[in-house]
């Protein structure tokens, strides 16, 4: 029953928005295991350049083709929106589940932004 802020944490209902600080390979693999049972998934992702973003994006693409990346998209078939607040605001119109994941810094900013609305 423990709650760890930013770890597969539900921060909004309707749409269901879950944040997870999957900021490295192991974290992304754990996130995948928790998220794979959901459907109609939209993902917003941001990570720092020193991380294995290739593995993380490949893993995310196995969950959904609806991915918005705020930076470091490489050559993956994802949307790019460098304004993460815009990406989050647009996600409110999604009818399924919205996962917001990546660096712990990014997750803390998003979490604060959504909870202050």
Among residues 93, 9, 100, the alpha carbon closest in space to that of 63 is found at 100
Q: What is the pLDDT of residue 1?
A: 61
The closest of 99, 103, 102 to 114, measured between CA atoms, is 99
- Coil, strand or helix at 19: strand
Q: Which pLDDT score is estimated for 2? A: 61
pLDDT of residue 48: 80
pLDDT in tens, the chain (117 residues): 666 788 999 999 999 999 999 999 999 999 999 999 999 999 999 988 888 999 999 999 999 999 999 987 788 999 999 999 999 999 999 999 999 999 999 999 999 999 998
The whole-number pLDDT of residue 116 equals: 94
Quote the pLDDT of residue 97.
Answer: 98
pLDDT (0 to 100) of residue 89 = 98
Question: Residue 67: its pLDDT value, please?
Answer: 97
pTM for this entry? 0.94
What confidence score (pLDDT) does residue 92 get?
Answer: 97
CB 19 within 8 A of CB 25: no
């Amino acid at each position: 029953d423990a709650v760890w802020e930013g770890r597969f944490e539900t921060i909004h209902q309707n749409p269901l928005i879950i944040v997870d600080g999957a900021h490295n390979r192991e974290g992304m693999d754990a996130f995948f295991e928790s998220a794979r049972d959901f459907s109609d998934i939209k993902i917003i992702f941001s990570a720092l350049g020193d991380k294995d973003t290739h593995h993380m994006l490949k893993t995310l693409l196995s969950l959904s083709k609806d991915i918005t990346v705020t930076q470091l998209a490489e050559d993956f078939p994802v949307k790019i929106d460098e304004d993460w607040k815009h990406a989050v605001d647009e996600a409110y119109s999604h009818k399924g589940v919205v996962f917001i994941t990546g660096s712990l810094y990014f997750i803390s900013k998003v979490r604060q932004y959504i909870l202050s609305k």
